[in-house]
Structure 1
Amino acid sequence: MIIDPILPGFHPDPSAIRADGRYLVATSTFEWFPGINLHASADLRTWQPIGAALNRPEQLNLRGVPDSGGVWAPAISHHDGLYWLVFTVVRTMSGTYKDLDNYLVTAVDPAGPWSDPIPLNASGFDPSLFHAADGRRYLLNLNWDHRAGRFSFGGILLQEYDHDRRELVGEPELIFTSDELMEGSHLFERDGWFYLMLAEGGTGFHHGIRLARSRNLRGPYETDPRPLLTSRDDPRAAIHKAGHGQLITTADGEHHIVHLGARPEMGKTGLRSPLGRETFLQRVVWDDDGWLRLAGGGHRPHPGTPGVDTRPRPEPAFAGPEWISLRGPVAADLTSRPGWLRLRGQESLDSLFHQSLLTRRLTSLHCTAAVTVDADPRRFTETAGLVVYYNTTGYHYLAVTHDESRGRVAGLISKSPAGVIEHGWHPVEPGPLRLSAEVDRLRVVFRAGADLRWAADLDALSDEIGPPLRFTGTTVGVCVQDLARRRFEADFTEFALTDR
């Protein structure tokens, strides 16, 4: 038995298909670059990263997008020899408005290259494409209603897409409404029915999946009286927040859904999910009434499915597809000093624009991250080190910088929605310095060299702390700042992230 998740760590909003003899999953990346993670599998059990769809700066400009803005809920499909990906870029999240745009990219091979984005509309997030049997294509997305006194989740819109003209045609039609929060719609056809698979109840602990169906593409749709999947009624569930999924069918006719979920730990005042929302797999079957049900019964996610170990394989340090940067590519120099990564300092860790940071997703709460840094800061504005990062309001930074009276010093900077704490600075000798972070559930111990130690926790590096709409997950990696001249450089080597 393997234990879900099939994609551990920050991999939310999965969309999945079977095409060309394999399975593909696309997941949200929000403010991180490159955009839209893609994983492939031959057997639904062992998954390998194949890169990202939006990996060129001209495809994706995220400078200035808020935390948890950026790329939301991609939906992948395959038709007419092409792979299709639709996705949202969210630029405003506060207040009643959602400033966003929906786009389409296509590729002959999911490993790329993917086309430049085609703009579609801006009426609401979570788009998906339905390829009808008559050859026509339709875009679905949420109808966001910002007006006072209106329910913001204003139903599901349907509009035809003409790929020859590279644009939507006709007028959008509202085909489904609900008093519940319904989003993340995927449309498919079976036995004369059109089915909507919908993410229900918001993306927190009330999350779920529910079906609706109609004999007519444009409705009206009847809603399944039972949820297909949710863990909202089980506070002791192994998988919380279960929802936002898509149906895939194997070559031998078995059905599965991929869906998001979380594995929280109990924090100081409640459950905390520093790993973010991950991707899970459930087998489903059709019942006699024409509704999908979990194969194991009930509606709560089952934590295991037969197979082999699905953990990502080790990647070259700083160079594999698991390495990500914030809001755009970072100038990573891997050639000036063989075996080392060189970064030039940019803006602070609070910046929404230009950070010099490379991280990878934390996939376990029992692990150690370590790196050797070679940095000689000469000003207090020059800093480099190891960072455990959630977003601009939640991180721990084991940093090396300069103090006018003590020279080179190391210390821990912790940021939470409550503010910034500096845990103490201590002199360190010149030359390469080993830094590490040992994670044990929600506790993390930082070390610099052989003698320096700081303790902190991951309580604030989770979806549940701070401003609403925190959607990502904790990452770990390296960063450099030069807040005065943008010239300071630091080198890193021997990065290791190992489970314990």
Structure 2
Amino acid sequence: MQIKNPILPGFNSDPSIIRVEDTYYIATSTFEWFPGVRIHASQDLVHWNLVTNVLDTVKLVDMKGNPSSGGIWAPDLSYADGKFWLIYTDVKITDGAFKDMKNYLTTAEQIEGPWSAPTLVNGVGFDASMFHDEDGRKYLVQQTWDHREYHHPFDGITLTEFDVETMKLKPATARTIFEGTAVKLVEGPHLYKLNGEYFLFAAEGGTIFTHQEVVARSKSLDAKSFVVEPDGPFLTNFDTPNSYLQKQGHGALVNTPGGEWYYASLTARPWNHDNESATDPRGWSTLGRETSLQKVYWDEQGWPRVEGGHGGKTFVDAPKDAIETEAPADHSQHDDFVSEKLDLNWNTLRVPFTEKMGTTGNGSLKLIGQGSLANPFDLSLIARRWQAFYFDAETKVKFDPYSYQAMAGLTNYYNHSHWSWIFVTKNDEGAPVIEIGENKGGLRNGSYSSYFKDDAPIIPVGTEWVRFKTEVRKESYTYLYAFDDGDWIETGITLDAAVLSDDYVVREYGGFFTGAYVGLAAVDYSGYDSTAEFDFFDYKELGDYLEADGSFSWRAAETRYF
């Protein structure tokens, strides 16, 4: 078998990988999306299944009002003393000099839970991880934040001993063990002890196209005792602009029962418009930051190296002792809303799906209109990740709005300021109509456009259901609609998919770290609780590549250009 990268397509970033006996687990970041922390499992490193979302109650995480791309950053999963340990960060501020955050610890005997009530650890910095030393001691290893304008905000990697008896840190033991290289922005630390030495893996360069992973080692955990790997960095795509995989860096190391080594890293697969340079801009990563897996060997000096060079490879040999794992062929999803609990693939923003948002079960989803798609507090939206460059998504909605202030339909969404949707609403004459709206960010997040305006298609009298469909075609996407069981009607409106990418948003607002979603939403900012009923949702992946004959496939290449 061969591993095909990325192993977790679509927004699955900052992977923390471990092995417990013959099963591998990966925890990934979820930011403002709820539930927090996705965990995938595999026994062959090739095929992966989503097995749980850890932070599934407000007791474990309350993100109401969190900024976009705040929330759960870089969880760390470990296993020791017969249980799983999860460290996670809830970031409350993303812009400006401060990054107010809280680091929490929760544990469970089984990966599916139940997970313990969270223990507040500290707020020194984000990207915290737990290191379980051979002598039984435990340490928190973390990026350290410095708000002072005359210091660099990424103030090295801090190590602090953790007292298991009190479940608290020992602040007096805190020391900086690594300041990073001249690249700066050192973060994402993971510490390992191998053959009597401590190895620190850390990310640098920011999680953009300058991203990289470095390795340092030391015989002790003394302050500033770590020496950087020569001829590094360990992993980067900064100097491999033609590589299919980009942005590789932040991640974690794992070994197999047979003694082979692998490194799980975030990655991205940017594309370019036909009229753009392939290197500037390097591209638009609409699927967000994904997870890749590279094979690692140890050189004669005992340093870890990536097989094939520090740019990594698209295709990687699977472990010799891999146990073949059953998993779906792709990430297509059909939901008739029979269950009273949402499927694991569905996410809401910041808070869980409750009766305030609506209900699901008995063959329908009901969403009660609340705030607009720009609202970080009260929003009735469920959505799932884009996980292929080419896909169709479809739904059927029944909705009787009071006015133009009530809307319900199908959305492609990145964050509060970058989204579009097709929806049912009412015009000024009181007739139900179809409209397409798009928000592209810009000054004060306010560049909203209505595409049909006064020419919005009127829904015929007697129509019970309106069907909506989006066709995503890598660089662009469009919307279609139909009445009851009638034929699809094209809107003639093609939207730029780049608007729904980290790379587009970061040009305006600093760091953004998620990816595009497709989903269902109901808005009624008049406060009259207009309720929409959705009959089903269908997400059908077509592939990642457009062939010469116009068909779609899952063909992959070692380079971005083919």
TM-score, L = length of structure 2: 0.86
CA deviations 1:381-430 (Å, max 9, x no partner) are 11100000000111111111111315111111111113111111221233
Q: Which moved more, 1:320-329 or 1:485-494?
A: 485-494
Aligned pair in 2 of structure 1 residues 366, 97: CA closer, same or farther (>3 Å)?
same
Residue 334 of structure 1 corresponds to which residue in structure 2? 360
Q: Does 1:367 align with 2:372?
A: no
Percent identity over paired residues: 37
For residue 458 of structure 1, the aligned residue among 497, 502, 505 is 497
Structure 1 residue identity aligned to 2:228: T
**Structure 1 residue 148: deviation in Å?**
1.8
Q: Helix, strand or coil for the counterpart of 1:333?
A: strand
Q: Does 1:273 align with 2:315?
A: no
Residue 184 of structure 1 corresponds to which residue in structure 2? 188
**Structure 1 residue 451: deviation in Å?**
2.2
Residue 227 of structure 1 corresponds to which residue in structure 2? 233
The within-5 A match list for 1:49-198 is 49-171=50-172, 172-178=174-180, 179=182, 180-198=184-202
Q: Which moved more, 1:268-277 or 1:153-162?
A: 268-277
CA deviations 1:353-393 (Å, max 9, x no partner) are 11100000000111111111111112111110000000011
CA distance in 2, matches of 1:70, 1:493: 31
Q: Which moved more, 1:31-40 or 1:158-167?
A: 158-167
Q: Does 1:325 align with 2:348?
A: yes
**Structure 1 residue 311: deviation in Å?**
5.3
Q: Which moved more, 1:40-49 or 1:66-75?
A: 40-49
Whether the aligned pair in 2 keeps the contact of 1:327 and 1:354 (CA below 8 Å) is no
For residue 431 of structure 1, the aligned residue among 459, 464, 469 is 464
**Structure 1 residue 306: deviation in Å?**
4.3
Whether the aligned pair in 1 keeps the contact of 2:213 and 2:234 (CA below 8 Å) is yes
CA distance in 1, matches of 2:47, 2:142: 31
**Structure 1 residue 260: deviation in Å?**
0.5
Name the structure with the higher strand share: 1
Structure 2 residue identity aligned to 1:458: A
CA distance in 1, matches of 2:408, 2:3: 39
CA deviations 1:73-116 (Å, max 9, x no partner) are 00000000110010111001111111111111111111111112
Structure 2 residue identity aligned to 1:278: E
The within-5 A match list for 1:267-306 is 267=273, 270=281, 271-295=283-307, 297-306=308-317
Q: Does 1:207 align with 2:211?
A: yes
Q: Helix, strand or coil for the counterpart of 1:24?
A: strand
Q: Which moved more, 1:304-313 or 1:172-181?
A: 304-313
Aligned length: 497
Aligned pair in 2 of structure 1 residues 110, 104: CA closer, same or farther (>3 Å)?
same
Whether the aligned pair in 2 keeps the contact of 1:159 and 1:168 (CA below 8 Å) is yes
Q: Which moved more, 1:486-495 or 1:145-154?
A: 486-495
Structure 1 unaligned segments of length 5 or more: list them.
Answer: none
Whether the aligned pair in 1 keeps the contact of 2:186 and 2:205 (CA below 8 Å) is yes
Structure 2 unaligned segments of length 5 or more: list them.
Answer: 319-323, 483-487, 543-562
For residue 499 of structure 1, the aligned residue among 537, 541, 544 is 541
Q: Helix, strand or coil for the counterpart of 1:241?
A: coil
Q: Helix, strand or coil for the counterpart of 2:250?
A: strand
**Structure 1 residue 305: deviation in Å?**
2.4
CA deviations 1:139-173 (Å, max 9, x no partner) are 01111111121111110111111122121124211
Aligned pair in 2 of structure 1 residues 362, 311: CA closer, same or farther (>3 Å)?
farther
Residue 531 of structure 2 corresponds to which residue in structure 1? 489
TM-score, L = length of structure 1: 0.96
CA distance in 1, matches of 2:436, 2:200: 49
Whether the aligned pair in 2 keeps the contact of 1:344 and 1:486 (CA below 8 Å) is no
Whether the aligned pair in 2 keeps the contact of 1:22 and 1:41 (CA below 8 Å) is yes
CA deviations 1:199-232 (Å, max 9, x no partner) are 1211000111110000102251001121111110
Deviation >4 Å, runs of 4+ = 306-316
Structure 1 residue identity aligned to 2:70: G
Whether the aligned pair in 1 keeps the contact of 2:334 and 2:539 (CA below 8 Å) is no
Whether the aligned pair in 1 keeps the contact of 2:332 and 2:540 (CA below 8 Å) is no
